[in-house]
Amino acid sequence: MRTTRITSLVLFIVIGRAASEDSTPVPVIPYVSATTGERLLKELILKSDITPEDGKCFVARVRLNRRGDRDFRGSFCSLLEDGKPLPHPRSLHASIRKEGLGRYSHWTATHVYLSASDSSDPRTNGRRYELVSKESFRQRTARTTLTAGHSSLSIVAADDRSVRPIRIVMRNLDQQVSVSPHLRRSDDPDLTSVESIISSITNDQMSDEDRATAIWKFLIDWRYHDYPAERRAEMHDPVKLINVYGYGFCDDSAAAFCVLASKAGMKTRSVGLSGHVVAEAFYDNAWHMFDPDHQVRYRTKDGRVAGVSELEFQPELITSQPDDPLGFPSRRMAEMYTTRRDNRPFQAASSDPMELRPVLDPGDQVVFDFTRRQRVHRRAYRDKPLPLMFGNGILSQNKLLSKTNLRSNARVIHVQWPYVILGGQIRIASKADDGASTVEASADGGNFAALPVISINNGLATSLDSWIDAQPSAVYEYWLRIRRNDGTDPAIGIKDVSVDTEFQFAPRAHAQIKPGMNGFVVAVHGKDSQLPENWRGLDVELVWDEVRDK
């Protein structure tokens, strides 16, 4: 049985609309409500997510995001084979490898070590494997309307339960003013630009080594290793890497290190090894190696951070520990450096770094959904499993066609968004006989392609999905062109066009709710100028689950 309980009835709004982001934020206490209940969750483990480990053991990547056996409390999840629980949970990995027969361990939130009930290959035995979790939950929602240009929110989440972010919703209430909102945790760095990242994580009192170390640690904390979306410079922009994707390969993190360290005033380069790429920063008249992907840097006996040229001849600096922080054997890592014939310094290709500045036009709403993980942008490694952590969001807009650009008897709608666009749905409210039957899309505003249009009640509908999938690289803006077959202005028969744009974002880079006290800062700027005095405000909603496994 589900019940609804109000946990706070306080709403405190202070008017101060034109405040700048550098001013003291206006404190706002949101209205908080809660819904409680119990649920059983199942994740079907895809065959493509299972890889052989050793002996009878296989490793499966999972996304249910529940704590594993490595946690001292252990996992509460069960692994089903064709709907029946496998008989030996929490088994030692050595036992899974040697004995098999249904032994398994839900080891971490993202990996399960398993064997089939008859020790066969779970990728080819035709059986269905599911990870199951039963839990009690309290879903809490914090809502408020912000009317100040710079506000602070304080939200308390349970500290005796697992806390799981669900979604963030922002809606521009004004019907005249476009705004650019920025919501972040007050203790997190500002991730909106290369400049803001550097100013958040470094200071003038730092040495060059301190600055390089701060950048290296930043990339370790804010991205993880997984198959990148593209092999091109798309992934080398640190703002996109952190905010849009949150994952990539070694060359992506090395390139991001170089971009950030260069902005901090340092000379940098990437170095290709035998199947691996690292970064180097030049200071104190020498090169020094930093590897964010494998989370390592190696020090000489006198305490200096070693460069690639030193590691080539001193592999013992690498092999002093058996494995690196990712569990990769140090012996194999040392081989990458000591095979010097293919070690090559280079400057990685990178586009101009993006500034993350989302704009909500009048009435626009955006939803960042942490639980929706259906699609990703991928132009490389299409046959590989989906990333372990990503989110899908939706930007919802309603465009009055009479207020859009008129070009050669066609109305043109421009959609621009700083997160990679995955697809979208367009609905056109029109009369059945108005002749507005042609909808086209363009990635550059000049070359348009027709979209498939179907008739629905009181209008037309089309999808961007196939068109987006056909684009050669990431799309961050598009144009829609609507024509009437009779050549007249489409606005005559069409009142408005609803556009839902689906996009990808990196959950780690967003204002997630965590156990205990949460402090957030919200800055809202006008699109082209300061907010007017009569600005109607921004609705903000944060939803999270407080979970207890059963």
**Same-domain check for residues 451 and 396:** yes
Residue where one domain finishes, among candidates 135, 157, 172: 135
**Same-domain check for residues 152 and 237:** no
Report pLDDT for 402.
76
Q: Say whether pTM exceeds 0.85.
A: yes
Q: Which amino acid is at 245?
A: Y
**Same-domain check for residues 210 and 321:** yes
Residue 24 lies in a domain: yes
**Same-domain check for residues 269 and 321:** yes
Contacts of the segment 216-221: beta carbons below 8 A, 24+ positions apart: 216/257, 216/290, 216/291, 216/292, 216/297, 218/189, 218/260, 219/253, 219/256, 219/257, 219/260, 219/292, 220/292, 220/295
User: Which residues, listed in sequence order, are joined to residue 375 by a DSSP beta bridge?
Assistant: none
The CA distance from 150 to 308, in Å, is 46
**Same-domain check for residues 454 and 498:** yes
252 within 8 A of 236, measured Cβ to Cβ: yes
Q: What is the CATH number of the domain that holds 436?
A: 2.60.120.260
Residue 356 lies in a domain: no
The CA distance from 410 to 427, in Å, is 17
Residue with tokens 């089939």: 116
**Same-domain check for residues 293 and 217:** yes
Length of the chain: 550
* Domain housing 20: 3-38+136-189+509-549
**Same-domain check for residues 405 and 477:** yes
Which residue from 287, 288, 267, 291 is spatially nearest to 277, judged by alpha carbons? 291
The CA distance from 431 to 459, in Å, is 6
**Same-domain check for residues 313 and 184:** no
What string of pLDDT tens digits covers the 550 residues of the chain? 333 333 332 323 233 333 344 568 888 889 999 999 999 999 999 999 999 999 999 999 998 888 899 988 899 999 999 999 999 999 999 999 999 999 999 999 999 999 999 999 999 999 999 999 998 999 999 999 999 899 999 999 999 998 999 999 999 999 999 999 999 999 999 999 999 999 999 999 999 999 999 999 999 999 999 999 998 889 999 999 999 999 999 999 999 999 999 999 999 999 999 889 999 999 999 999 999 999 999 999 999 999 999 999 999 999 999 999 988 899 999 999 999 899 999 999 877 899 999 999 999 999 999 999 989 999 999 999 899 999 999 999 998 887 787 888 888 999 999 999 999 999 998 765 555 578 999 999 999 999 999 888 878 899 999 999 999 999 999 999 998 887 888 888 787 899 999 999 999 999 999 999 999 999 999 987 778 888 999 999 999 999 987 7
The CA distance from 83 to 123, in Å, is 16
Q: What is the CATH number of the domain that holds 332?
A: 3.10.620.30
Which residue from 55, 69, 51, 58 is spatially nearest to 99, judged by alpha carbons? 55
Write the pLDDT tens digit of every residue in 112-156. Answer: 999 999 999 999 999 999 999 998 999 999 999 999 899 999 999
Residue 361 lies in a domain: no
**Same-domain check for residues 395 and 419:** yes
**φ and ψ at residue 227, rounded to 5 degrees:** -60, 125
Say if strands 477-483 and 438-442 run parallel, antiparallel, or are unpaired: antiparallel
**Same-domain check for residues 291 and 415:** no
Residue 249 lies in a domain: yes
Outline where DSSP puts E strands in 147-275.
150-157, 162-172, 179-185, 224-225, 247-248, 267-272
Residue where one domain finishes, among candidates 135, 165, 180: 135
Report pLDDT for 23.
66
Residue 372 lies in a domain: no
Residue 351 lies in a domain: no
Which residue from 359, 306, 355 is spatially nearest to 333, judged by alpha carbons? 306
Percentage of residues in the chain having pLDDT higher than 90: 76
The CA distance from 200 to 157, in Å, is 26
**Same-domain check for residues 491 and 523:** no
**φ and ψ at residue 195, rounded to 5 degrees:** -65, -45
Residue 367 lies in a domain: no
- The number of domains in the chain is 4
**Same-domain check for residues 310 and 222:** yes
Residue 355 lies in a domain: no
499 within 8 A of 426, measured Cβ to Cβ: yes
